[in-house]
A and B are shown apart, each in its own frame.
Chain A
Amino acid sequence: MRTVADLKKGEMGTIENLSFDEIPLALMEMGCIPGKQVTLIQRAPMNDPLYISVNGSHFAIRRETAECIVLTKLLCDEI
C-alpha cells in the first residue's frame, strides 16, 4: 500500500482513499479528497512533517497523518 508518506520530494500521486477513522474531517476539508492529485513539496528533517499540495491547497501534515492517505497503485506510464 502506497501512501503520501512514501512520495519522494517533487513526486505526485493520486489519492485513492483515506482510512476513515484516523483521518480528521479537517484534512478532507482542506482538499484531501479521493481522486485528487497530491504533490510532496518538502520534507522536514526526519521526514516529518510533510509539506504537500493537493486540490489547490498547500499545507503541512505530520507523517502519521500522511500514512493514512492511501494513493492509487503506480501504473507503468506514470513513472
Chain B
Amino acid sequence: MKSKKNLNVALVGNPNTGKTSLFNQLTGLTQKVGNYPGITVDKKQGSSKLPNGTTATITDLPGTYSINPTSLDESIVLETLLDNDNENFPDVVIVVAEVENIKRNLLLFTQVKDLKIPTILVINMADQMERKGIFIDIEQLKEELKTEIVLISARKKEGINTLKKKLLGYKNFDTNPVLKVSDKIDKAYFEDVKARLKGFTTYKSWLLITQKEPVKFISEASKHVIENFKIDQSRLKKYQHKETIYRYQFINDVLKKTYKIDHSKAKDLRSYLDRVLTHKVFGYLIFTSILLLMFQSVFDWATLPMDFIDVTFSNLSEWAKMKLPEGVISNLITEGIIPGIGGIVIFIPQIAILFLFVATLEETGYMSRVVFLMDKVMRRFGMSGKSVIPLISGTACAIPAIMATRNIVGWKDRLITILVTPFTTCSARLPVYAIIIALIIPEDRVLGIFSLQGLVLMALYVLGFASAIISAYILNKVLKVDSKSFFIVEMPNYKLPSLKNIVLDVLEKTKAFVLGAGKIILAISVVLWFLASNGTSDFKNAETIVTEKNKDSNLPTEELEREIASYKLENSYIGVMGKMIEPAIEPLGYDWKIGIALISSFAAREVFVGTLSTIYSVGNDDEGTIKQRMAAEINPVTKEKRFNFPAGMSLLVFYAFAMQCMGTLAIVKRETKSWKWPMLQLVGMGLLAYLAAFVTFAILK
C-alpha cells in the first residue's frame, strides 16, 4: 500500500541534460544509493518536501537516449516505467531536456509520454537561452506536446519550486499519447500484437516484443507470445526504424513552430575547444599533462590529511589503552579495531582527490573527448575508449573503478576492462611501495633534478598500466566471448563544473570504497589480531620457556621481555602460518615474517605495512620508525640485510601483480555474476606475481 502522503517521482532524461543536477537540487543529502532487486544497477533515491507538506520520493533513473535500452543500466528505465505493480512505479515522471539539445531530448519525451503516465517536461539551462540566441514558445509547445512544461536552471536553483508546485497537480495532467505511431506504420499488425498480449496498451506491447532481453515482470504466457513475435526480426527492426523516423518528423514539425535559434549569437567556444582538445597532437599532449597534474596533486594534497589521520589513530589507540581496563576486549579494541578503522580511513584523502579530478573531467564534458581520442588505441587491446575512465579511476581504488565499467556497451569489452583494472596501481599499493622504495633505493638525484625514488615509483605506475594493457591484449585473443559492441559516444557541450554535483559524486564513490573494502579490511584486521595474540602451547608457555632457557645468561629484564615477545610471535597461529609458507616464498627472498605480511595482504595490500610494523614493534621498544626496524633486520643465513635490493625489488614486483584485495574480488563477482572471473584474477595474477618475483630475485641476487 502506498501512503497517500507519499508521491513517487521518477527522473528520466538523456545523459548531459543536467538530470543529476536537478536530482541533487531536489534531494540534496537525503539521497541514497541502493540496488534494484536481482541486478547490480545502482538505484539512486532521495526525498523532497513539496509545498503542501507531501514528501516526494525521487528516483533518479539512469540517463538514456531512448526507452529502448542499449545497456543494463538503461534497461532499468523501461522496467520501471512498464510495470505498474512495481513498488518503484512512478505517480509522475519528470523528463529532463536541455535548451540546446531539445530535439534529441524530445525523442525520449515522446516515448515516455506515449506510456500514458502523468508526465512533466522540464527544460533545463533556461538561463542560457538568451545568451545562446534561443527562443521557445512555451505555451504552444505545451499544447503541441500535450504536457506541462517547467523551465528551470538546475545550476542556479531557478524554477525548482515551480516544478515542486506543479508536481502536486499530477492527477490533472493530460495523459494522452502525443502521437500514435502504430497507426502510421501498420495498424493491423499492432492491433494483433495488442490483442494477443492481453492487458497492455498498444505501445507497451510493442515495447515488450522488441526488447532483446525479456522484461522481468512478465508472465510465462506473455513471454511465450513475445517469443513468437520475435521470430520476425527484420519486421521488428524495420518498424522500429520507422517509428524513430516518425517521431523525429513529429518533433521537427513541433519545433519548427515553437523553437527559434539565432545562430549568429551562438558563440563558437565549443568548436574552438574541440579543435584543440581533440587535435591529433595537442589532444594527446593535453591529456597526458592532465594525467600528470592529477597524480602530482594526489600526492601533494593527500600527504597532509594522511599524516593527520595516521597520528590521530595512533593517539586514539594509546588513549584507549590507558583508559580501558586491561584485558582481551581492550586488546581487541586497541590493537585490532582502532588500527583496522585507521587503515581504511587513511585512504580516503587520496581516493577523494582522485575522484575529484575524474568527476570534474566528466562534468566539464572533457572525458568524452578522451574517450574519442583513446578508442582506437584501446580497441587494439580488446577494450573500448570508455575503458579509459575505469583504468584511471583504478589508480584510486579498483572497486568504484569496476563499477564505472557499466556503461561500456559490449560485454567482452566490459569483461576485459573489469579483469585488467586491478593491475593499475591503486592507492593501497602506495604505502607498500613507499616503504620498500625508501628502504632499497638511495635518495639520489638523476641528472640533478629527478629523485631516483620518485622515478622508481613512476616506473611502478607504468608497470601497472602496461600489465593491464598487455593482459587485455592476451585476454582479447584468448577469451571466446560472443558479444556485439557498438560505439556511439555523445560529445556534450563544454560546461563549467558544478561544485555540488562533484562533491556528491566524490562522496558516493568514496562510500563505495569504504563499504566495499572497508568492511573486509576491518574484519581481517580483527582476525589477524586474534591469530597474532593466540597460539600453540609454546605460545602460552612462552614466558616460562624463555626464562628457563636464559636462566644462566643473566639477561637484563628488558632484553628478556623482548625475547619472550619474539618467541610468542613465532609460536602464535600467524607465526605458524608464516613458517608454513616459508619454503614456498624463500626463493623470492622472503622469510616467515614477510610471509605473515603476505598472508594478511590477501585481505588488502596495505595491511602489509601494518602487519610488519606489528611484527617488528613487538620485542622492540625503542622509538625507531618501522622503516629503521625493517632496515635493521638481518637474514640469519646470509648475514645480509633482509630488505636488501634483490628482496625489495622482488617484493615490489610481487605487489604490482598480485590480486590481493578481497573487496575487489567481491565486486568482480557481483558485476560478472560468477565466481569464475574473480577466481581467474586471483589465480592468474597470483601466479604471475610469484613467477615475476622469483625471476626478479634470481636475476638480482
Chain A residues packing against B (C-beta within 8 Å) = 18, 20-21, 24-31, 33-34, 41-42, 44-46, 48-49, 51, 55-62, 65
* In-complex Cβ contact of B488 among A20, A42, A48, A60 (8 A): A60
B100 / chain A contacts, CB cutoff of 8 Å: 56
27 A-B pairs within 8 Å (CB atoms) are namely A18-B241, A21-B237, A24-B70, A25-B244, A26-B68, A29-B65, A29-B66, A29-B68, A29-B107, A30-B104, A31-B248, A34-B245, A41-B271, A41-B491, A42-B275, A44-B372, A44-B376, A49-B372, A51-B372, A51-B491, A56-B102, A57-B101, A58-B491, A59-B488, A59-B489, A59-B491, A60-B489
User: Is the CB–CB distance between A42 and B278 below 8 Å?
Assistant: yes
The reply to whether the CB of B171 lies closer than 8 angstroms to some CB of chain A is no
User: Is the CB–CB distance between A60 and B65 below 8 Å?
Assistant: no
- Interface centre among B66, B104, B234, B368, by most A CB within 10 Å? B104
* In-complex Cβ contact of A60 among B68, B70, B237, B372 (8 A): B372
B240 / chain A contacts, CB cutoff of 8 Å: 25
User: Is the CB–CB distance between A26 and B70 below 8 Å?
Assistant: yes
User: Is the CB–CB distance between B490 and A45 below 8 Å?
Assistant: no
A21-B237, A51-B278, A57-B490 known; A62-B375 Cβ under 8 A: yes
B248 / chain A contacts, CB cutoff of 8 Å: 31, 33, 55
A30 / chain B contacts, CB cutoff of 8 Å: 65, 104, 488, 490
Residue ID in chain A nearest B74 by CB atoms:
A26
CB distance from B66 to the nearest CB of A (A): 4
B492 / chain A contacts, CB cutoff of 8 Å: 58
CB distance from A19 to the nearest CB of B (A): 11
User: Is the CB–CB distance between B376 and A59 below 8 Å?
Assistant: no
B375 / chain A contacts, CB cutoff of 8 Å: 44, 48-49, 60, 62
User: Is the CB–CB distance between B245 and A60 below 8 Å?
Assistant: no
User: Is the CB–CB distance between A20 and B238 below 8 Å?
Assistant: yes
Number of residue pairs A-B, CB distance < 8 angstroms: 106
A41-B271, A44-B373 known; A31-B104 Cβ under 8 A: yes
Considering the chains assembled together, what is the distance between the CA atoms of A28 and B490 in angstroms? 13
Residue ID in chain B nearest A59 by CB atoms:
B490
User: Is the CB–CB distance between A33 and B487 below 8 Å?
Assistant: no
CB distance from A16 to the nearest CB of B (A): 14
Considering the chains assembled together, what is the distance between the CA atoms of A20 and B244 in angstroms? 13
B101 / chain A contacts, CB cutoff of 8 Å: 56-57
Residue ID in chain A nearest B248 by CB atoms:
A33
Contact with A along B79-111 (1 / 0, CB 8 A): 000000000000000000000111110010000
CB distance from B17 to the nearest CB of A (A): 12
Considering the chains assembled together, what is the distance between the CA atoms of A74 and B88 in angstroms? 52
Considering the chains assembled together, what is the distance between the CA atoms of A58 and B241 in angstroms? 20
B237 / chain A contacts, CB cutoff of 8 Å: 20-21, 25
Considering the chains assembled together, what is the distance between the CA atoms of A31 and B490 in angstroms? 11
Interface SS, B side? helix
Residue ID in chain B nearest A58 by CB atoms:
B491
User: Is the CB–CB distance between B104 and A48 below 8 Å?
Assistant: no
User: Is the CB–CB distance between B244 and A60 below 8 Å?
Assistant: no
* In-complex Cβ contact of A33 among B102, B244, B368, B376 (8 A): B244
Residue ID in chain A nearest B241 by CB atoms:
A28
Classify chain B's interface size. Answer: 35 or more
User: Is the CB–CB distance between A45 and B486 below 8 Å?
Assistant: no
CB distance from B244 to the nearest CB of A (A): 5
User: Is the CB–CB distance between B274 and A42 below 8 Å?
Assistant: yes
User: Is the CB–CB distance between A25 and B488 below 8 Å?
Assistant: no
User: Is the CB–CB distance between A62 and B280 below 8 Å?
Assistant: no
The reply to whether the CB of B385 lies closer than 8 angstroms to some CB of chain A is yes
User: Is the CB–CB distance between B104 and A57 below 8 Å?
Assistant: yes
Contacts beyond the supplied A29-B65, A48-B375, A60-B489: 8 A-B pairs with Cβ under 8 Å: A25-B237, A27-B486, A28-B241, A42-B274, A42-B278, A56-B100, A59-B488, A60-B371
Contact with A along B491-521 (1 / 0, CB 8 A): 1110000000000000000000000000000
Chain B, 362-376, CB within 8 A of any chain A CB: 368, 371-373, 375-376
Chain B, 335-375, CB within 8 A of any chain A CB: 368, 371-373, 375
A60 / chain B contacts, CB cutoff of 8 Å: 368, 371-372, 375, 487-489, 491
User: Is the CB–CB distance between A55 and B373 below 8 Å?
Assistant: no
User: Is the CB–CB distance between A46 and B376 below 8 Å?
Assistant: yes
Considering the chains assembled together, what is the distance between the CA atoms of A24 and B66 in angstroms? 12
A61 / chain B contacts, CB cutoff of 8 Å: 487-488
Chain B, 204-256, CB within 8 A of any chain A CB: 234, 237-238, 240-241, 244-245, 248
Chain B, 273-298, CB within 8 A of any chain A CB: 274-275, 278, 280
Residue ID in chain B nearest A63 by CB atoms:
B376
Considering the chains assembled together, what is the distance between the CA atoms of A59 and B488 in angstroms? 7
User: Is the CB–CB distance between B491 and A24 below 8 Å?
Assistant: no
A56-B104, A59-B489, A59-B491 known; A20-B274 Cβ under 8 A: no
User: Is the CB–CB distance between B487 and A65 below 8 Å?
Assistant: yes
Residue ID in chain B nearest A18 by CB atoms:
B241
For the complex of A and B, 9 pairs with smallest distance between CB atoms: A29-B66, A58-B491, A56-B103, A28-B244, A60-B372, A60-B489, A42-B278, A59-B490, A62-B487
B238 / chain A contacts, CB cutoff of 8 Å: 20
User: Is the CB–CB distance between B488 and A26 below 8 Å?
Assistant: yes
Considering the chains assembled together, what is the distance between the CA atoms of A46 and B271 in angstroms? 21
* In-complex Cβ contact of B278 among A24, A26, A33, A44 (8 A): A44
B376 / chain A contacts, CB cutoff of 8 Å: 44-46, 48-49
B234 / chain A contacts, CB cutoff of 8 Å: 21
A33 / chain B contacts, CB cutoff of 8 Å: 244-245, 248
CB distance from B75 to the nearest CB of A (A): 13
CB distance from A13 to the nearest CB of B (A): 18
